[in-house]
C-alpha cells in the first residue's frame, strides 16, 4: 500500500540529485500518443484568450538542470528560438545548469534581482520556502488568461502539487502522476543464468542472483551503490519487513527524510530511531556488503550505477517502474535491460510535484512566460525540439511512422548526438513526445492505465513548511548527507553507525522538527474533515 523509500529523496531534498529516473506521460488526456499536431496547434492558437499583445519582442530567461553543458546546445537553442519567435515573438536565454552546482546557484539567483522568467521548481528543491520568500509569482490569473491549453490537458490532480496556501505557484509536468520504483538488470545475464524476474517479490529474493553474479562474473558488482546518493537500494524498498508492515511508513513532502509518517498511528516519527523497518533494512545492507554483493567503494564513489553499467562494472541500476521505463533506460544506456515489478503506483504530494515550472517574481513579462509554458503543454513540435533536439541532427523519423523516431545512422547512443541532457521529465506535456523505436506503440495508453490505478497516500496534499525550523533542518540535512552513504552501503557496522547517527539527530533538534511536522500535519488534517 504505502511505502517509504528510506533515503531515496535525501539528495533530491538537498538539491543534489533525485531518484532518478527519466519521466514520461500520463494525464486525463493520455488516451493516445498523437497529442495530435492538429489538437496541439489548436490549443496553442487558443492559448491567448483576449488576444494578448505580442508585438513587443521579449527575451525570456529559462532555468533548468540536467546533464549540462551539452555539445550541441547552440544549434538546438537556435532552432527553439526560431520557432518561438514565430509563435509568440519571444526567444529564450536558456540556462542549463549541471546538477553539481544547480542548488547553490539557484538559491543565490532567487535572492538577487536577476531576471528569472521560467524556472524548474520541484517540491523537493525547497519550493514551499521559496514561495514564502517571494521567489515565484502566483499563477492563477495568468493560467486562466493564457494557460487554457494547460488546464485542458493536465489532470487536475497535478495542479494540487503547485499550490501553497490555496494559490498555484507552479505548473507540474504532464507525466506519471504516481510513483513506483524498480531495479533493472542486463538482459543478457538474466537470460544466461535463467533468472526469472517474476520470481522476485522482496529484496531478499535477490540473494541467489547476487551470489551467482559474484561467483561467476568476476569484476562485476552484483549491486552498485554510489556515495553521491544517486543510487540507493531504498528506491526499491521491498524487504520482507516492509511487505509484512504493509509499507507502514510514509515520506513527508518537504520534511527531511529522517521524518516519516506512521500511517497506523498518524504520528510523525524519526525513521531510524523508531522504525524497525528501516533498522532491518540497514542490517540487510550490512550483511550484503560483508558477502561482497555491494561494491567496496559504495560509501565514497561518485560513479553512478548507470555509468558503472555502461563501463561493465555492474549489471544493474535503479529506476522508475512506470510503463516502458526499462525500454527508456535501455535506449539511454545502449544496453538491453529488464526490470523487476515495483510496488503499486501511489500518488503523494511529492509525486505530483516532483517536476514543476514556476514563473519568477523578477520575470520581465509574466504573460509571455505563461504563453511559453502553455506551448510546452500543447505544442508537439516545441516539446520534442526541447526534449530530443533537431530532427535530422539528433534523431530521424522512422519511415511511415510520424511519431516514431530513432538515432541517425552511425550514431550509437543519444549522448553521441550532442543533445541528451535528460530533461524530458521536466518540460510540459510528455504525452506529446515522440516514441523511440523499440518503445511500445501504446505507451501513452499504458500510462493512462498506470495513472488511473495509482492510489493516494494518507498524507496526500500535505507539505511541511520548514520556515520555522529552517536552521535545524539545514543541520539535520547535512547529518543525513554524511551518514546515508555509510548506512546504506553497509560498509561499516550497522549498529555502531546507527547509534552515532541517532545521537547526532537527537543532539541537533530532530525532535523539534518532528514536533513541528506533527503540529502542521494535525492542523492540515483538521481542515480536511
Closest among 352, 356, 354, 359 to 146, alpha carbons compared: 359
Q: How many domains does the chain have?
A: 2
**In this predicted structure, what is the pLDDT of residue 484?**
83
| 201 shares its domain with 118 | no
Beta bridge partners of 114: none
**In this predicted structure, what is the pLDDT of residue 406?**
95
DSSP helix/strand/coil, 210 = helix
Classify residue 500: in a domain, yes or no.
Answer: yes
Q: Could you write out the DSSP letters of every residue in 396-411? A: EEPTT-TTEEEPPTT-
User: In tens digits, what is the pLDDT along the chain, a chain of 529 residues?
Assistant: 444 444 333 333 333 333 333 333 333 333 333 333 333 333 344 444 445 689 999 999 999 999 999 999 999 999 999 999 999 999 999 999 998 889 889 999 999 989 999 999 998 888 888 898 899 999 999 999 999 999 999 999 899 889 988 899 999 999 998 888 899 999 999 999 999 999 999 999 999 999 999 999 999 999 999 876 666 777 788 899 988 888 888 888 888 888 999 999 999 999 888 788 888 999 999 999 999 999 999 988 889 898 999 999 999 999 888 889 999 899 888 899 999 998 888 888 888 999 999 999 999 999 999 999 999 999 999 999 999 999 999 999 999 888 999 999 999 889 999 999 999 999 999 999 999 998 889 998 888 888 888 888 999 888 888 889 989 998 998 898 888 888 888 888 889 999 999 999 999 999 999 999 999 999 999 988 6
Report whether the peptide linkage leading into residue 76 is cis, meaning its omega lies within 30 degrees of zero.
no
| 193 shares its domain with 134 | no
Question: How many CA atoms within 13 Å lie on the side-chain side of 209?
Answer: 26
Give the number of other Cβ atoms within 10 Å of residue 198's Cβ: 8
**In this predicted structure, what is the pLDDT of residue 363?**
98
| Alpha carbon distance 522, 213 (integer Å) | 48
User: Are the C-beta atoms of 421 and 68 separated by less than 8 Å?
Assistant: yes
Q: Could you write out the DSSP letters of every residue in 328-391? A: HHHHHHTS-EEE---PPPEE-HHHHHSSEEEEBTT-S-HHHHHHHHHHHHH-HHHHHHHHH--B
| 253 shares its domain with 161 | no
Could you tell me which residues come within 8 angstroms of residue 16 by beta carbon, excluding any fewer than 6 positions away?
Answer: 99, 100, 103, 228, 229, 230, 481
Classify residue 298: in a domain, yes or no.
Answer: yes
Closest among 254, 275, 255, 250 to 343, alpha carbons compared: 250
Task: Out of 413, 433, 455, pick the residue that ends a domain.
Answer: 455
| 327 shares its domain with 275 | yes
| 328 shares its domain with 372 | no
User: Are the C-beta atoms of 142 and 47 separated by less than 8 Å?
Assistant: no
| Alpha carbon distance 457, 13 (integer Å) | 19
Q: What angle do CA 454, 372, 350 make, to 5 degrees?
A: 25
Give the number of other Cβ atoms within 10 Å of residue 412's Cβ: 9
DSSP 315: S
Dihedral sign (CA 81, 85, 88, 89) = positive
Give the number of other Cβ atoms within 10 Å of residue 478's Cβ: 13
| 470 shares its domain with 324 | yes
Classify residue 2: in a domain, yes or no.
Answer: no
CATH at residue 478? 3.40.190.10
Residue 270 φ/ψ, nearest 5 degrees: -90, 120
User: Are the C-beta atoms of 490 and 379 separated by less than 8 Å?
Assistant: no
| Alpha carbon distance 38, 354 (integer Å) | 30
Closest among 478, 459, 510 to 270, alpha carbons compared: 510
Q: Could you write out the DSSP letters of every residue in 485-513? A: HHHHH--S-HHHHHHHHHHHHHHTTHHHH
| Alpha carbon distance 218, 224 (integer Å) | 14
Classify residue 4: in a domain, yes or no.
Answer: no
Q: What angle do CA 81, 84, 86 make, to 5 degrees?
A: 115
DSSP 434: P
| 233 shares its domain with 362 | no
Classify residue 37: in a domain, yes or no.
Answer: yes
**In this predicted structure, what is the pLDDT of residue 344?**
84
Closest among 430, 425, 434 to 447, alpha carbons compared: 430
Residues composing the chain: 529
Beta strands 455-456; 346-347: pairing state: parallel
**In this predicted structure, what is the pLDDT of residue 125?**
86
Task: Out of 455, 470, 494, pick the residue that ends a domain.
Answer: 455
Could you tell me which residues come within 8 angstroms of residue 164 by beta carbon, excluding any fewer than 6 positions away?
Answer: 127, 128, 131, 132, 463
Beta strands 167-168; 267-270: pairing state: unpaired
Task: Out of 423, 455, 487, pick the residue that ends a domain.
Answer: 455
| Alpha carbon distance 103, 433 (integer Å) | 28
| 249 shares its domain with 306 | yes
Classify residue 375: in a domain, yes or no.
Answer: yes
| 420 shares its domain with 387 | yes
| 137 shares its domain with 21 | yes
**In this predicted structure, what is the pLDDT of residue 29?**
33
User: Are the C-beta atoms of 299 and 277 separated by less than 8 Å?
Assistant: no
| 361 shares its domain with 249 | no
Classify residue 1: in a domain, yes or no.
Answer: no
Domain coverage including residue 480: 181-343+462-529
| 338 shares its domain with 474 | yes
SS (H, E, C) 10-68: HHHHCCCCCCCCCCCCCCCCCCCCCCCHHHHHHHHHCCCCCCCCCCCCEEEEEEEEECC
Classify residue 5: in a domain, yes or no.
Answer: no
Amino acid at each position: 500500500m504505502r511505502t517509504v523509500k528510506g533515503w531515496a529523496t535525501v539528495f533530491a531534498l538537498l538539491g543534489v540529485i533525485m531518484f532518478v529516473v527519466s519521466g514520461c506521460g500520463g494525464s486525463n488526456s493520455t488516451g493516445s500518443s498523437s497529442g495530435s499536431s492538429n489538437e496541439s496547434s489548436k490549443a496553442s492558437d487558443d492559448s491567448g484568450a483576449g488576444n494578448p499583445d505580442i508585438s513587443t519582442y521579449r527575451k525570456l530567461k529559462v532555468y533548468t538542470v540536467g546533464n549540462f553543458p551539452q555539445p550541441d546546445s547552440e544549434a538546438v537553442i537556435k532552432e527553439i528560438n526560431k520557432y518561438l519567435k514565430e509563435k509568440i515573438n519571444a526567444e529564450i536565454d536558456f540556462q542549463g545548469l549541471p546538477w553539481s552546482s544547480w542548488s547553490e546557484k539557484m538559491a543565490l539567483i532567487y535572492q538577487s534581482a536577476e531576471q528569472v522568467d521560467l524556472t524548474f521548481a520541484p517540491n523537493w528543491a525547497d519550493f514551499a520556502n521559496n514561495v514564502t520568500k517571494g521567489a515565484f509569482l502566483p499563477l492563477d490569473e495568468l493560467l486562466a488568461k493564457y494557460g487554457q491549453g494547460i488546464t485542458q490537458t493536465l489532470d487536475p490532480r497535478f495542479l494540487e502539487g503547485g499550490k501553497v496556501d490555496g494559490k498555484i505557484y507552479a505548473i507540474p509536468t504532464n507525466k506519471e502522476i504516481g510513483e513506483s520504483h524498480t531495479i533493472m538488470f542486463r538482459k543478457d545475464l538474466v537470460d544466461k543464468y535463467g533468472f526469472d524476474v517474476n520470481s522476485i517479490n522482496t529484496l531478499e529474493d535477490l540473494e541467489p542472483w547476487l551470489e551467482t553474479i559474484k561467483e561467476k562474473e568476476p569484476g562485476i558488482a552484483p549491486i552498485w551503490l554510489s556515495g553521491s546518493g544517486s543510487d540507493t537500494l531504498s528506491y526499491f524498498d521491498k524487504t520482507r519487513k516492509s511487505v509484512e508492515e504493509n509499507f507502514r511508513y510514509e515520506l513527508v513532502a518537504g520534511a527531511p527524510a529522517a521524518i516519516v509518517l506512521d500511517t497506523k498511528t498518524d504520528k510523525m516519527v524519526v525513521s531510524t530511531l523508531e522504525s524497525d523497518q528501516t533498522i532491518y533494512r540497514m542490517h540487510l545492507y550490512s550483511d550484503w556488503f560483508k558477502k561482497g554483493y555491494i561494491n567496496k567503494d559504495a560509501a565514497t564513489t561518485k560513479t553512478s550505477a548507470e555509468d558503472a553499467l555502461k563501463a561493465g562494472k555492474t549489471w544493474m541500476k535503479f529506476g522508475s517502474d512506470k510503463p516502458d521505463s526499462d525500454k527508456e533506460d535501455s535506449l539511454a544506456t545502449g544496453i538491453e535491460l529488464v526490470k523487476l515489478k515495483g510496488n503499486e503506483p501511489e500518488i503523494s504530494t511529492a509525486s505530483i510535484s516532483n517536476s514543476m515550472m514556476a514563473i519568477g517574481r523578477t520575470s520581465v513579462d509574466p504573460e509571455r512566460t505563461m504563453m511559453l509554458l502553455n506551448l510546452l503543454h500543447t505544442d508537439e513540435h516545441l516539446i520534442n525540439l526541447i526534449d530530443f533536439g533537431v530532427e535530422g541532427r539528433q534523431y530521424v523519423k522512422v519511415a511511415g511512422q510520424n511519431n516514431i523516431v530513432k538515432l541517425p545512422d552511425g550514431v550509437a547512443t543519444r549522448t553521441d548526438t550532442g543533445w541528451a541532457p535528460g530533461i524530458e521529465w521536466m518540460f510540459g506535456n510528455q504525452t506529446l513526445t515522440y516514441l523511440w523505436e523499440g518503445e511500445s506503440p501504446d505507451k501513452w495508453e499504458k500510462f493512462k492505465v498506470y495513472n488511473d490505478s495509482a492510489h493516494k497516500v494518507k498524507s496526500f496534499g500535505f507539505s511541511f513548511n520548514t520556515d520555522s525550523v529552517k536552521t535545524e533542518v539545514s543541520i539535520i540535512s547535512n547529518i543525513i548527507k554524511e551518514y546515508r552513504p555509510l548506512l546504506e552501503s553497509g560498509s561499516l557496522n550497522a549498529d555502531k553507525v546507527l547509534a552515532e547517527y541517532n545521537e547526532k539527530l537527537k543532539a541537533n533538534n530532530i525532535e523539534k522538527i518532528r514536533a513541528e511536522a506533527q503540529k502542521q500535519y494535525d492542523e492540515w488534517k483538521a481542515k480536511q474533515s
